[in-house]
Amino acid sequence: MSESSRWTMPEMAGILSNKIPQDELKPGDHIYSWRNAYLYAHHGIYVGDGMVIHFTRAAGQEIGTGTVLDRFIFSSSPSHSSGSPCPRCGDQSRTEGVISSCLECFLCGGELYLFKYGVSPGVFIAKTRGGTCTIAPSDPPEHVLHRAKFLLQNGFGVYNIFKNNCEDFAIYCKTGLLVFTNVSVGRSGQATSFLAATTAIVSSPLRFLTTGVSGLAAVGFGVYCVSRYVSDIGVRRDVMKIPVERLILCPGPLESDEAATITDTSKEKGS
């Protein structure tokens, strides 16, 4: 293995787990916690003083079936681990949109993980579970905090599990990047992993490339990895950097060439 292709020790450790102690958190960190036996993760931005800004939909409304299945499978609403209202946050079980919660309510009894930015393609592929890292670099913490606090006051649009979810919110706060084409999936690594797995399963022509079980598994895994990679926010080309104030003035997809020239406002640049 060449010197340039070797993984560093932090990269190797990150492949195994993104778990982080609470005392290592820094304002502007993108954090997440797994829910319901690692079925999915809830994401947010740590803003300091034990508080997290995150995007959620009210309990029982996440996937919109109108049944108890909504709350059991996809509930991301914050709650206090003791089961009683949090003395700091109150009862947020029916709140929705961009909200601020204490770290304990955000974690909801789960463990704390740090979403990684600027990872190498090799590390990204090795982290086969989506929603844990991206190739895209993060902006400075002051830009991240400005976006998160601005959206806390102004909202982040309508929650959509595939196009505009909690991970999409956190990734936008960290990068300022938005998808500007009318595609079926947003920036969320969890959503793209789900679609990549579906693509690998239903790619009928690839079934004829091999007759063995191991060969079929290898082809399916290859399709899954490629689909995840090309959908990552750091690789795809249908994204642009949008100042957070622009989201309020002109919500929705921005498809004009002129929009691609938009740069961060002087406030985000810290001037």
Beta bridge partners of 34: 41
Residue for token digits 């990734």?
171
- Between β-strands 30-35 and 40-48, what pairing exists: parallel, antiparallel or unpaired? antiparallel
Q: Which helix (H) or strand (E) element contains residue 145?
A: helix 141-154
Q: In what order do the strands lie in the sheet with 40-48?
A: 97-102, 51-56, 40-48, 30-35, 113-114
What's the chain's Rg over C-alpha atoms? 19
CA 235 to chain centre: 15
Q: Find out whether 208 and 230 touch, Cβ atoms under 8 Å.
A: no
**Residue whose C-alpha is closest to residue 193's, from 150, 242, 218, 226:** 226
Residue for token digits 């997290």?
52
Kindly list the catalytic residues: 42, 54, 166
* Beta-carbon count within 10 A of 137 CB: 11
